[in-house]
Amino acid sequence: MGMIDTIAVETSERQIAGKTVAVSTVLRGRPPSYLRVAFSTVIGLLRGMKMTLGYFLSPEEIVTQQYPENRDTLRFPERYRGNLRFKFPNAEEHESHAALVTQVSQEAEVDAQHAAAWMHEDNGARWYHNCTGCGKCEAACPNASIKVITRHGEILDDRELDRFVWRLDSCMFCNACVQACPWDAIEMTAGFENAVYDRRLLVYNLNKMAGPRINLIQDEENPDVRKRMVERRDRYGGPVPLNGFGLPNLLPVPAPLPVDEAVDAMPGQEGSA
């Protein structure tokens, strides 16, 4: 194929539909000789091999990440966003906070080992939160990926978070919710291993506990009262597709039958009640 010489452009005028139109014509240059094509091909090949040889002799220069072998040392740019979670409250008071988590998880009769694992979990919600349930993040989200459900807390006689439902399947990681939060309660993380076999798994509760924000729990000295302030929340409870709730573009999974009904529905149990 002939080479196009973009420098050699001829301009002229033509009559098209009764009008005079300026036309530019790009002239084809002379095709290169076979010898020149062969020469430039060999030069390109040698350039590529030079780079390969350079990385072979200086492996420290290699920038390609060997994932997942390097998972422990993987580093992301500071502003990389791949997941939303509750921000670890009082991060600078990690030790005292860890002690409180263990204490309250025991008070709440939750497996302390489980609690510790959740607390250090990077790819999901943390145990406690700093969320007041104000709903500003929900209002700021441009594509309705957040649903904040609140309840009335009897102990503090105030609004508190019940469930924070997040749609990872439709989130575009714009960070608007994080910026809208007046309590600095949520943050974007670099967690990116979100692949699942069913989209409905990507709609879940971010909070592990319903209740007031951590500072208000810490302020309460009576352990019995503290215990009554919080209530455990599971990942797929509430209005999510895995719990029988349909969402735009997402069909629900039928909610499991209550145990009594499930037993009644078992073969051979009809009419036995």
Per-residue contact track with ligand SF4, 185 to 224, x per CB under 6 A? xx--------------------------------------
**Residues whose CB is less than 8 angstroms from the CB of residue 238 and which lie 6 or more positions away in sequence, other chains included:** 149, 162, 163, 165, 205, 245
When asked if residue 156 is in the footprint of ligand SF4 (CB under 6 A), the reply is no
| Among positions 101, 148, 240, 250, the unique one binding ligand SF4 when judged by CB under 6 A | 148
From 42-50, 115-123, 141-149, 247-255, span contacting ligand SF4 (CB under 6 A): 141-149
Number of residues engaging ligand SF4 in binding (CB under 6 A): 26
From 1-9, 63-71, 126-134, 234-242, span contacting ligand SF4 (CB under 6 A): 126-134
Residue placing its CB nearer to ligand SF4 in the complex, 185 or 209: 185
Contact in structure between 86 and 129 (CB atoms under 8 Å): yes
Residue list 46-85, contact with ligand SF4 (CB under 6 A): 84
From 115-123, 171-179, 225-233, 260-268, span contacting ligand SF4 (CB under 6 A): 171-179
| Among positions 89, 101, 133, 233, the unique one binding ligand SF4 when judged by CB under 6 A | 133
Contact in structure between 206 and 125 (CB atoms under 8 Å): yes
| Among positions 183, 192, 236, 245, the unique one binding ligand SF4 when judged by CB under 6 A | 183
Q: What is the DSSP string of 156-175?
A: TTEEEEEEEEEETTT-----
Joined tokens for residue 272: 């036995």
C-alpha span between 165 and 138 (Å, rounded): 10
Q: Max alpha carbon distance in the chain (Å)?
A: 95
**Which positions lie near ligand SF4, rule CB under 6 A?**
84, 131-137, 140-141, 143, 145-146, 148, 171-177, 180-181, 183, 185-186
